[in-house]
Structure formats: structure tokens, C-alpha cells
């Protein structure tokens, strides 16, 4: 399974985009600000292609998707949330969007999580390709 995250709107508070699963639109996304130099918990990951696994998040006390081997970043997850205050470097998903906001996030996340889990459970690899923003982030 391939997730394509295409970043399209960059503000001084957040980065928003669209997420597709195998070429079909799935959800809107919200991340931290795209910047060339990392500020911990305030910077989105560099553009690139990353493996996605599901494992237990101590912070959220539940299983969540995790982006693996992101240069200079750890613990980057896909999870519910609405604004940059909820991201901490992670990718939020929603069914609606407005300036610096995604809405109906739990519903969007639940639908996406089921697809990712189904693919992984059937032995399929899951990757996310992120475009837009910076290809490298100085840490």
C-alpha cells in the first residue's frame, strides 16, 4: 500500500495537504511548519518516502501508525488531532479542512487506520511518500 501525502498550503502555523491511498483521496492532513532547520515538536518531517508500521504508542496508550527511519526525527505518527498544537511533528488527518485546521479527525483516522492495519495484517508493506516542503531538514 502506498500513501501519498501532497503538501499544498504552508502558513506560519502549519502545513496542510491531501493524503491518498493507492491513488485515491483519503483525507486532508495537517502538520507542523515546513522549515529548513528543525525546531523540536514544531517542524514537519522532510519530504521523502518512509516505511509505515503499526506499534504501541506509550504517549497515546494505543496502537498507531509510525513512520520509520525519518532522518533526524523519532516517534513520528499518524494520529487524530485538529491544529498545530496537536501535531508535535506528527501527521494529523481529517475529513474537513480550513485555515490551520482539520476536522472530523477521529473518523478520518479510524478509516485510514483500518486500511493500514488490513494491509499490514495481509503481509503487504505500507509506505508513505511525502512531497512538498523541504527534502532535508537540518537537525
Please say whether the beta carbons of 28 and 95 come within 8 A.
yes
The dihedral over CA atoms of 105, 97, 95, 90, expressed in degrees to the nearest 10, equals -40
Give the three cell numbers for residue 109: 483516522
The strand order across the sheet containing 91-94 reads: 62-68, 48-57, 126-131, 2-10, 15-21, 24-31, 91-94, 78-79
Boundaries of every domain in the chain: 2-131
pTM of the model: 0.96
Residues 52-94: tens digit of each pLDDT: 999 999 999 999 999 999 999 999 999 999 999 999 999 999 9
Amino acid at each position: 500500500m502506498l500513501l501519498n501525502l501532497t503538501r499544498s498550503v504552508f502558513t506560519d502555523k502549519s502545513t496542510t495537504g491531501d493524503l491518498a491511498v493507492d491513488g485515491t483521496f483519503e483525507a486532508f492532513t495537517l502538520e507542523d511548519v515546513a522549515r529548513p532547520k528543525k525546531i523540536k515538536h514544531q517542524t514537519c518531517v522532510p519530504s521523502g518516502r518512509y516505511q509505515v508500521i503499526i506499534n504501541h504508542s506509550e504517549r497515546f496508550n494505543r496502537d498507531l501508525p509510525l513512520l520509520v527511519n525519518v532522518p533526524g526525527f523519532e516517534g513520528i505518527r499518524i494520529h487524530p488531532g485538529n491544529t498545530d498544537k496537536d501535531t508535535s511533528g506528527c501527521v494529523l488527518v481529517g475529513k474537513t479542512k480550513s485555515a490551520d485546521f482539520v476536522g472530523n479527525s477521529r473518523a478520518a483516522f479510524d478509516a485510514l487506520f483500518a486500511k493500514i492495519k488490513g494491509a499490514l495484517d495481509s503481509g503487504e508493506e505500507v509506505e508513505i511518500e511525502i512531497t512538498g516542503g523541504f527534502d532535508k531538514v537540518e537537525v
